[in-house]
């Protein structure tokens, strides 16, 4: 399969109950590269609610999607991912919870996130040599939403505004929703998935992802963090 972009994700363990629910909720299994039947929830249009995040699959971004720089290869990126993972230990947090981020819903970490933030920062920094510079169109699109000086610096240096000190780990579960729908979906998710969410929550590997030509992301390989 040919990929147009790559990313480093946290990919939940495929055999976890909450992973199975979240994957079905979004309708795309990035591990198997297959569409999944979505649950029916009274009063909710689940396919519409999840249309925006569906192509990414159930994940938490560590290094945002990027095109390969000229002269770089997937093989070299894979070797670098393995080397990075070998220098990092698993990260454990208190758990996950359903939370609002602006007008969308996500699973967010509980407790001290410093170890997780450091893992994300290392992924951004140590693999940046594989990232092609952002195009003028990409830069303009990011700036259109309004950036702080620190976010502008991140965009210029790392190709994405919400990294380093502006990084906020989240596992996206919906697109942007109006307030009434947001509240309704939050209740539905908390009723169905809240008791499944892991406590504690541990990240044991880095997932190298590839974006196919249709825009959907696929798991290429997991790299175990050293213990």
With pLDDT > 70 as the criterion, what percentage of the chain qualifies?
100
Residue 78 in this model has a pLDDT that exceeds 90: yes
Asked if residues 69 and 132 have their Cβ atoms less than 8 Å apart, the reply is: yes
Q: Give the residue-averaged pLDDT of 141-162.
A: 93
Residue 98 in domain: yes
- Mean pLDDT, the chain, rounded, equals 96
% of the chain at pLDDT higher than 90? 93
95 belongs to a structural domain: yes
Q: What is the pLDDT of residue 86?
A: 96
Q: How many domains does one find in the chain?
A: 1
- Confidence tier at 1 by pLDDT (50, 70, 90): confident
User: Per DSSP, which regions of the chain are E strands?
Assistant: 3-10, 28-29, 34-35, 60-66, 91-93, 95-101, 104-110, 171-172, 201-203, 205-212, 217-224
The answer to whether residue 162 sits within a structural domain is no
How buried is residue 110: exposed, middle or buried, by Cβ count under 10 Å (0-12/13-18/19+)? middle
Q: What is the pLDDT of residues 89-119, one digit of tens each?
A: 999 999 999 999 999 999 999 999 999 999 9
In a domain, 119, yes or no: no
| Domain membership flag for residue 122 | no
User: Is the torsion defined by CA of 127, 10, 134, 142 positive or negative?
Assistant: negative
Q: Mind listing the pLDDT tens digit for each residue in 49-74?
A: 999 999 999 999 999 999 999 999 99
The answer as to whether 158 is a domain residue is no
Would residue 142 count as lying in a domain?
Answer: no
Which range of residues forms the domain containing residue 92? 3-111+170-224
Tell me the CATH number at 25: 3.90.1140.10
- Tens digit of each residue's pLDDT (9 = 90 or more) over 156-198: 999 999 999 999 999 999 999 999 999 999 999 999 888 899 9
What's the pTM value of the predicted model, to 2 decimals?
A: 0.94
Q: Would you say residue 227 has pLDDT above 70?
A: no
Q: pLDDT tens, 26-37?
A: 999 999 999 999
Q: How many CA atoms lie within 13 A of 134 on its CB side?
A: 20
């Amino acid at each position: 399969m040919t990929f147009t972009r790559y990313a480093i994700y946290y990919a939940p363990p495929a055999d976890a109950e909450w992973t199975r629910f979240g994957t079905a909720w979004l309708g795309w299994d990035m591990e198997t590269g297959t569409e999944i039947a979505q649950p029916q929830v009274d009063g909710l249009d689940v396919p519409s609610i999840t249309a925006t995040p569906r192509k990414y699959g159930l994940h938490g971004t560590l290094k945002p999607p990027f095109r390969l720089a000229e002269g770089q290869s997937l093989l070299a990126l894979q070797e670098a991912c393995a080397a990075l993972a070998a220098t990092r230990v698993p990260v454990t947090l208190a758990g996950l919870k359903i939370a609002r981020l602006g007008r969308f819903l996500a699973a967010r970490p509980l407790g001290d996130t410093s170890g997780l933030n450091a893992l994300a920062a290392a992924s951004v920094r140590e693999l940046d040599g594989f990232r092609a510079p952002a195009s003028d169109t990409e830069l303009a699109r990011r700036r259109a939403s309004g950036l702080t000086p620190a976010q502008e610096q991140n965009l210029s240096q790392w190709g994405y505004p919400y990294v380093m000190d502006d990084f906020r780990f989240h596992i996206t579960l919906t697109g942007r929703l109006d307030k009434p729908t947001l509240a309704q979906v939050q209740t539905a998710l908390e009723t169905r998935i809240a008791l499944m969410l892991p406590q504690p929550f541990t990240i044991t590997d880095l997932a190298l992802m590839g974006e196919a030509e249709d825009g959907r992301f696929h798991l290429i390989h997991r790299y175990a963090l050293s213990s």
